[in-house]
């Protein structure tokens, strides 16, 4: 079952008056730590939902291979309002979705994988009898959460949902740690840094030049999802001109059309993948998955601590 993830990065500030998503937890920011954890656990797509005034955050995550969605509303929002933006995007793309606020960044990929493997309709990790993050929500429940207008936000929605929440016991104190708590987190940080040790596999295709890599695959996926090169570039936080440059180099090296386009319209015309482009994307993903599996096996033998 495909599992997506939603990171809710509101405009809140941390207790030390830093911008919460970009507050340093160790040597990297809270939001980058969450992205790396979800990536290590195999969640995809990873959607970051942020407020309107988040230009620095957009640049901060621009090379992380995630989908960046902005909250276009003017009012202050609760966690459920940000979550709904992610649900609306992922509803037809995943069988289940993980949801985490950016201020709880120290749970481990092992915890995430336990939630994923549970395939529960609605679940929370539990440490010492207390529920924490991330939440796991089945695709079948997303319409309910999208329509919920009651009190107490996401917590209120879970309380009145017909589906009983499953508690997944974990030995991971990070599911409860909030960066605004003021508690010492050094022990948790050391544990988390060991947990995120992993190999990074970046598959590139090349002829005379490199023309296809993970960013290219993400761009093609976003074009297929949105029907627009411009919207795909916005969600990837790259410029429209850069997006077309990637496409042009790829098509020149391959010698065939990958992206079919029609000029005009509000977002610069419509676009979709050609049959050969769609086949290339699918085969690249399969090849990438196979390579990652082999590399992980060898890593576990030689380098895993």
- pLDDT of amino acid 205: 98
Strands (E), 30-66: 46-50
Question: Do 61 and 106 belong to one domain?
Answer: yes
Residue closest to 268 by CA, chosen among 217, 233, 236: 233
Q: How far apart are CA 54 and CA 212, in angstroms?
A: 29
- pLDDT of amino acid 265: 56
98: domain CATH number? 3.90.550.10
Q: Residue count of the chain, please give it.
A: 305
- pLDDT of amino acid 87: 97
- pLDDT of amino acid 13: 61
Helix (H) or strand (E) holding 212: strand 210-212
290: domain CATH number? 1.10.10.10
- pLDDT of amino acid 295: 96
Q: How far apart are CA 272 and CA 279, in angstroms?
A: 13
Question: Do 136 and 161 belong to one domain?
Answer: yes
Q: How far apart are CA 172 and CA 189, in angstroms?
A: 12
> What is the number of structural domains in the chain?
2
Q: Would 300 be classed as within a structural domain? A: no
Q: Would 302 be classed as within a structural domain? A: no
Q: Would 184 be classed as within a structural domain? A: yes
- pLDDT of amino acid 11: 60
- pLDDT of amino acid 181: 85
- pLDDT of amino acid 221: 97
* Residue where a domain stops, chosen among 195, 225, 259: 195
* Residue where a domain stops, chosen among 145, 173, 195: 195
* Residue where a domain stops, chosen among 195, 220, 245: 195
Question: Do 184 and 213 belong to one domain?
Answer: no
Question: Do 166 and 124 belong to one domain?
Answer: yes
Question: Do 49 and 185 belong to one domain?
Answer: yes
- pLDDT of amino acid 51: 81
Question: Do 186 and 42 belong to one domain?
Answer: yes
Q: How does DSSP classify residue 122?
A: E
Low pLDDT (below 70) residues in the chain: 11-18, 52-53, 73-76, 264-268
Q: How far apart are CA 44 and CA 90, in angstroms?
A: 10
Q: Would 41 be classed as within a structural domain? A: yes
Q: Would 104 be classed as within a structural domain? A: yes
Question: Do 183 and 163 belong to one domain?
Answer: yes
> Residue 109 is part of which domain span?
3-195
Q: How far apart are CA 18 and CA 113, in angstroms?
A: 31
- pLDDT of amino acid 14: 58
Question: Do 221 and 156 belong to one domain?
Answer: no
Q: Would 303 be classed as within a structural domain? A: no
Q: Would 150 be classed as within a structural domain? A: yes
pLDDT tens-digit readout, 236-288:
999 999 999 999 999 999 999 999 988 765 555 799 999 999 999 999 999 99
- pLDDT of amino acid 304: 84
Question: Do 86 and 226 belong to one domain?
Answer: no
- pLDDT of amino acid 213: 97
Question: Do 288 and 160 belong to one domain?
Answer: no
Cα distances from 69 to residues 52, 131, 189, 224, in angstroms, run: 9, 27, 28, 17
Question: Do 135 and 270 belong to one domain?
Answer: no
Question: Do 184 and 211 belong to one domain?
Answer: no
Q: Would 301 be classed as within a structural domain? A: no
């Amino acid at each position: 079952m495909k599992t997506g993830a939603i990171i809710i990065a509101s405009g809140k500030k941390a207790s030390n008056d830093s911008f919460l998503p970009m507050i340093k937890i160790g040597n990297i920011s809270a939001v980058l730590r969450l992205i790396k954890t979800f990536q290590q656990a195999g969640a995809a797509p990873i959607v970051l939902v942020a407020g309107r005034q988040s230009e620095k955050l957009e640049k901060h995550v621009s090379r992380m291979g995630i989908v960046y969605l902005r909250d276009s509303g003017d009012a202050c929002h609760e966690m459920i309002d940000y979550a709904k933006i992610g649900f609306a995007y992922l509803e037809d793309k995943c069988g289940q979705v993980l949801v985490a606020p950016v201020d709880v960044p120290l749970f481990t990929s092992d915890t995430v994988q336990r939630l994923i493997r549970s395939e529960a309709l609605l679940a929370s990790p539990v440490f010492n009898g207390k529920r924490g993050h991330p939440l796991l929500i089945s695709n079948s429940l997303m319409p309910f959460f999208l329509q919920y207008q009651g009190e107490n936000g996401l917590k209120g929605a879970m309380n009145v949902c017909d589906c009983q929440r499953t508690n997944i016991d974990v030995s991971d104190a990070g599911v409860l740690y909030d960066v605004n708590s003021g508690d010492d987190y050094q022990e948790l940080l050391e544990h988390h840094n060991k947990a995120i040790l992993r190999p990074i596999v970046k598959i590139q295709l090349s002829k005379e030049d490199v023309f296809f890599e993970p960013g290219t695959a993400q761009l093609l996926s976003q074009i297929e999802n949105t029907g627009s090169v411009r919207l795909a570039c916005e969600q990837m936080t790259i410029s429209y001109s850069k997006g077309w440059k990637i496409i042009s180099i790829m098509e020149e090296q391959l010698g065939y059309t990958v992206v079919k386009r029609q000029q005009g319209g509000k977002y610069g015309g419509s676009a979709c993948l050609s049959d050969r482009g769609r086949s290339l994307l699918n085969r690249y993903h399969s090849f990438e998955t196979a390579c990652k599996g082999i590399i992980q096996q060898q890593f576990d033998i030689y380098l895993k601590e």
